[in-house]
Each structure stands twice: as C-alpha cells, then as structure tokens.
Amino acid sequence: MKTETTSLYRNLPRGTGRIASLALAAAFGASALWPLHAAASQALAQKYSCVACHQPATKVVGPSWKDIGAKYGDGKGTAAQLAASIKAGSSGKWGAMPMPPQAQVPDADLQSLAQWLLDGAK
C-alpha cells in the first residue's frame, strides 16, 4: 500500500521550503548562542582592559556598564554610534575625565562590546 505524504511546502515555489527551514534554523541558532554572545563580550571587556576603568555597577574611573546602558540603551543610541564613540574616545560626556581612543580594538569587537552594553551588559 502506497502512502502519500503531505508537505506544508507543496504549493510553494520550488526552493521556498528550504529557505523557510534555513531561516527558522538560523533564528533558533541565534537565540541559542545569545549566552555565548554575553560571555564573549565579557571576555572582550577583559581582553581590551575595559575593566581597568569600567565595572558592571560601580563607577571607577569611567561610568559603570549599567550607567552606559541606561544612558544609551532603549533606543537612545545605536551600537554603531557607541562603537564609534569608544573607538574615537571622548571627553565631557561623563565628567572631566576623558576616555582615550580605543583605535586598536577591531571594529567587529567594538560592535560586540557596544551591543552588549546597550543590552545591559548581562
């Protein structure tokens, strides 16, 4: 006896089902990697010595990660803007102490750090 299998993708243009499956897999994969992103950003903060001036909840030399997230998060700034500010350095944004430029940090790492800060550095 021959059994006919039904497919959700039967009436879609050829290849659409495969694309939909890949998109779904990518979405699940990204959510599964989120904790790794946070751990990687914590490691980046240590690798580039951000922790010498910044701490999670306490102002040291510069503002805490929590304060940075509060000031620029919730749509008040983008990761690209914050990454550019970190790279160029700044003065007067958080008081008299200037932040030296961090031009040695690769752009991809700056972007990861900035997004991590905007997401609450968790």
Question: Could you give the CA distance from residue 90 to residue 42 in angstroms, rounded to a whole number?
Answer: 22
Give the length of the chain: 122
Kindly indicate the confidence band of residue 110, based on its pLDDT and cuts at 50, 70 and 90: very high
Q: Percent of the chain scored above 70 by pLDDT? A: 68
pLDDT, residue 40, reads 75
Amino acid at 100: P
Kindly indicate the confidence band of residue 60, based on its pLDDT and cuts at 50, 70 and 90: very high
Least confident range of 73-77, 98-102, 109-113: 73-77
pLDDT, residue 122, reads 80
Check if the beta carbon of residue 45 is closer than 8 Å to that of residue 113: yes
> What does the block give as tokens for 42?
């914590």
Kindly indicate the confidence band of residue 15, based on its pLDDT and cuts at 50, 70 and 90: low
